[in-house]
Structure 1
């Protein structure tokens, strides 16, 4: 029961068509529920205008910017000028057109959200943002009808928001396009479209459709079954797997099976005449070949009716002689020019008008904020573990070359530290005569199903990276993709060699350090980098505490202590900085002071506490008094400030444990863990709203 019929306007429409052998353009299908491809059309035009300017000599394509401005004007009308009330709903980063969703949201200056970013409450739709719930009254959706609301539609959908339909029903939400518009895409309507047009509009269709027969009619079904080998057969029920059968490609037995399927359930099938599409030049393997192509163009509702875009998206089949032209099947795209006598597209003004995005922290969707936070944490975790593992491997290889037997205890402590650091218990803690060190290292590097391993952390890092790609620069995408592919290629190889492991760790650390700096340089703090920084510092602090607890809290002989202090400094990238600062040999009290209590060294725990407290004050929910996530870091900062170095490195009577140092590190570990928990509850759960 929907009250206002104005809400059921088909605001945005796309049409797939192709040129037939008679030279006419034939309609292949309608796209009404969530038309895609506009972002690709814009990007193709901008790319062509930039890299192939010589093609524009004497040829002027009509502008696309007028159409995009129209869409932006429509959203402005719906939101009454407040673009923060508009969102683009995407299925998420694993959808094949996610790039376009991110690109289009950037152009339209609206937030890109997933179903979990929205909350329907009392008939109103809300955006879960860092500063709390924000009202949403306009939804540009890229999620199909039945997935939009698990409460009223497909109950197992993870892509929509429960209560979305009710918000629309109560006229609190504009939707481009409204739920239910998918009915127009039903191929069962095609045979009746001419009659529908005459009845409602009292006019003829301008563009002809491919001849279509609905098998639910007896006469038409008989014709289809008699000419099956000349037809293209499709199911009209899109809630199930959509199958397309090309009659001429089926064997005699397959044709009989298809006839039986149609006869058993005729209302579920349509047959279309098979026509030859026009072809487009396609460059592949050093030569040009013809490929079947389809044109997708768009129409937008305005005050006077509909405006058709002066251009479109040409999609080209990836396989020769294939009539299946789909991005899911690897189809590529080209720019479509409609020629004009006017001046060509002003790319600079196009970008200036549409490329500025409001990514302030207050408006940032919760999922984007959370993924930035975990991007920082997993990147720090991966780098810390990889760096320490590399040091362990190099130390083991060096001892083997010199045939040293006195380093066994050093290796044992380093290996158990690696287990504590990665939390891959029991790991090196349960070594016996049958224990194989290289096999454990191999597992720590390659086992993606074992929590804490490098491959596991790389996968978690990839998940976070994919979810925030729309906030990162293209160079970051390319670098991460290269790092991810090369790491997975290595993980699939069967190798058990110190040299191979070390070489791969060298390479992936270079990639990850470059990626870390690219993320840092390409984002402003106000755009969300502060969340990435907070995540990175919390994880780096926890990693440092774990290493120190495992390596320096027990009294050992001087030689062993020296080796462990050296390993600790190298794994923190602090060895040269320590040498420069102290100009002396490695001593426990100096290393503890340097890594814990030095307020000017960027990798010391005290420095990171200070930076975290500073960053917390920038966040949207910062209060006059300490919040629940600030308190633990404030306490940690106070503990470090009040700590006395001589007490930390003092041994009690007949004790081999630096009790005060262990107690301090234990308390700090709990405080940082508590901070992370409270931070996530405050900004990512919205449990109290």
Structure 2
């Protein structure tokens, strides 16, 4: 009873302390000034959780976000930001959702009809329902596609509407999203995170499931292809996209191939994916690249994101693009002023979801209306995302006196570029702040997918909540939170998933088609991890030598000197400048661990591995991300230079444990097909090169026992050597174990044998029976190693093997990756639509 009274008091405190903003509709408090029933039910269950239990659950959710790398990128920033998820979902009743659903479907059908006319007969313009400037003046109107029927029959395959409550309590449309709507994948991730944090509450509230929508979306994309088993690709602008995490998440969840423009090529009138097995036809492209950047031959010639010849393939009906390039025309704000009349004209009905009142200044009467009421209105660009003459501003308030004169002059000079809009203050929803609920403005993005059975609306959406009480717009670049959206069904909801319901599913055992850019990133992910491991082993050995109690083992310091020279050659620490008195070995070890400005330092290599892996998110196990985050964490704060030898040793040793776990994860959890082979080839080549370097520095003719002992430690072969030889380390046996032993997993010969196995298993582009360059070179290296003798092996021969392995790496890149004129392009920045 005490717990129940405490929960009741907590609930009462939350509600009593919640004060909606004056004159603004609120989700928690209804028009009657009382909490809505379903919100009270939600808060009642939340109040039963002890504060420490609630905190533990949400801390686990935050940890999941961090460990799995859920993130986004603000336009212009190089680094990603962690995903900001609100602890409180947005709740919508089933009855209210049915109205939203009907309005979104109506709007999607209306815009599809409008686009079909504008790119077809053009009757709306010819009959005066739309001014020609509303079409021809838009940069999103693609003239090369005028008169082209969209392959698959639709301009819009995915539509989104940004909604907010109007002052009358009804839902209003703030913006239409038809270019390449983003946010659906983040909505899915929000649901996964919050339903795990509050599983009982999620079930008790009868929250509608999202899986059926995504299944219908995929079915809709498959249905428009002209093959029964189509290859559906998600076309991304690359890992520097603001929403790359979402794109990778959707590709993995829906089983799509994630590709970039570099991966695609026009061949015989069709779009093909460049894979390691050659060109493979792409039937459907789900586009997440602005239309203007899709084809540098016919559209934006400076684009490095698109596919040369894509429009030619569309005109030939050889590829379906969702959404059809040019569909972004329907996003222009100018259209908002004509949609109510167009709905009556084309559908004989009123809009179920009204727009924000909009007046286009290109019409004399509307222009004078806007100018007369300028202090009460907001001015926005008629076509673009920002106001012409006001860089970076999506809208400008006429009430702001210093800008009013500029606004008026700009509108009179080029009126066609501007619209005036009613200033709509966004409605509010509860957000959690400092242990209490506070009202915050929000925008709800609702998605609709075209399916074989008609339009299907996601029962939920992508909600963005502002951190400012008086926000009039919400953007992910302006410090906002996101919230899961719970549509509360009238009855218990059946658990669903994307698993097919058919009794029989065709069984497949195929390696799949690996795009060239994915193979490249997997290869380098493996190389960076192996390079980081080598640096860590050097650091650990250097520290263990420094703390060794027996000075006889430490010797004269020759081994220490050689280890430090290796770290210098590695790029883990800077090369000493002439006249420097030298740096203490302990400082060298610490610098090699976490000085990020040194390209060979462990922290720099781990970050390089994370960057490579971020481009292949959809191909790595979800367990990889927590391990990568832990690996970086265990290396400590970058630039820490005051670490003792013992602490540096401890951090390096713990980091090596994490790398061992990552290696085990790749060996045991990755399907051992082409992607796994490239990851492993990267590790094998790098390990072979590193071992050669170790041997050249520590197994020279004048080597000492300490040097050989250090070499065996670096390649983790101490136990194997001692079990095989009674005597201590000797030059020839150590060289044999390090270089030539095909049974030692750390020996160069072992790496080359595994490389041969991988190369033989990979597809060949040639059908003449002759080995391709990588296989031929690996065979030569293997034969030379097999014929070599440890007694006569010298540094020049070891250097030769090292150089051959570097040549093999280049041969693999030339054969399987995008090289030369087709080289992978640099940073690819795109907007959040």
Pairing partner for 1:284 from 425, 433, 436: 433
Larger mean Cα displacement after TM superposition, 117-126 or 295-304: 295-304
1:378 is aligned to: 528
1:657 is aligned to: none
Q: Does 1:344 align with 2:493?
A: yes
Q: Is the 8 A contact 1:235 1:243 kept in 2?
A: no
Distance in 2 between the 1:236 and 1:493 partners? 53
Higher helix fraction (1 or 2): 1
Distance in 1 between the 2:784 and 2:508 partners? 40
Q: 1:131 to 1:212 in 2, by over 3 A?
A: same
Pairing partner for 1:523 from 666, 670, 690: 670
1:588 is aligned to: 731
Q: Does 1:323 align with 2:466?
A: no
Distance in 1 between the 2:249 and 2:509 partners? 14
1:265 Cα shift? 4.0
1:474 is aligned to: 622
1:376 Cα shift? 0.4
Distance in 2 between the 1:49 and 1:497 partners? 45
Q: Is the 8 A contact 1:131 1:362 kept in 2?
A: no
Distance in 2 between the 1:389 and 1:642 partners? 34
Distance in 2 between the 1:330 and 1:360 partners? 45
Q: Does 1:541 align with 2:688?
A: yes
- Secondary structure of 2:805 counterpart: helix
Aligned-pair Cα RMSD in Å: 3.5
- Secondary structure of 2:728 counterpart: coil
Question: Any idea what the Cα deviations from partners look like across 1:542-589, whole Å, max 9, x if unmatched?
Answer: 000011112212324xxxx11111111122222233223334322112
1:494 Cα shift? 5.7
Q: 1:343 to 1:497 in 2, by over 3 A?
A: closer
1:280 Cα shift? 1.9
Give unpaired runs (5+ residues) of structure 1: 649-659
Q: 1:5 to 1:434 in 2, by over 3 A?
A: same
Distance in 1 between the 2:276 and 2:150 partners? 33
Aligned residue-pair number: 667
Question: Any idea what the Cα deviations from partners look like across 1:481-515, whole Å, max 9, x if unmatched?
Answer: 3434665x722456586566545434443443333
Q: 1:674 to 1:58 in 2, by over 3 A?
A: closer
What does 1:272-671 correspond to in 2, within 5 Å?
272-302=421-451, 305-340=454-489, 344-347=493-496, 349-351=497-499, 361-396=511-546, 407-422=556-571, 427=575, 432-436=579-583, 448=596, 451-484=599-632, 487=635, 490-493=637-640, 495=642, 498=645, 501-526=648-673, 528-556=675-703, 561-621=704-764, 625-645=770-790, 647-648=791-792, 660-671=793-804
Give the structure-1-normalised TM-score: 0.87
Q: Is the 8 A contact 2:262 2:307 kept in 1?
A: yes
What does 1:6-25 correspond to in 2, within 5 Å?
6-7=150-151, 9-25=155-171
Q: 1:294 to 1:600 in 2, by over 3 A?
A: same
Question: Any idea what the Cα deviations from partners look like across 1:449-490, whole Å, max 9, x if unmatched?
Answer: 554444543342222111112222233212323434665x72
Larger mean Cα displacement after TM superposition, 226-235 or 431-440: 431-440
Q: Is the 8 A contact 1:462 1:484 kept in 2?
A: no
1:651 is aligned to: none
1:357 Cα shift? 13
What does 1:259-274 correspond to in 2, within 5 Å?
259-274=408-423
Give the structure-2-normalised TM-score: 0.73
Q: Is the 8 A contact 1:293 1:317 kept in 2?
A: yes
Give unpaired runs (5+ residues) of structure 2: 1-143, 823-833
Question: Any idea what the Cα deviations from partners look like across 1:239-271, whole Å, max 9, x if unmatched?
Answer: 7654134638x7532444444544454432323
Q: Does 1:157 align with 2:303?
A: yes
Q: 1:321 to 1:50 in 2, by over 3 A?
A: same
2:397 is aligned to: 247
Q: Does 1:30 align with 2:179?
A: no
Distance in 1 between the 2:637 and 2:405 partners? 49
Distance in 2 between the 1:29 and 1:114 partners? 28
1:538 Cα shift? 0.6
Distance in 1 between the 2:601 and 2:506 partners? 39
- Secondary structure of 1:685 counterpart: coil
Q: Is the 8 A contact 1:232 1:244 kept in 2?
A: no
Question: Any idea what the Cα deviations from partners look like across 1:308-358, whole Å, max 9, x if unmatched?
Answer: 3343333322444433323333444334344445651424x4356799999
2:239 is aligned to: 93
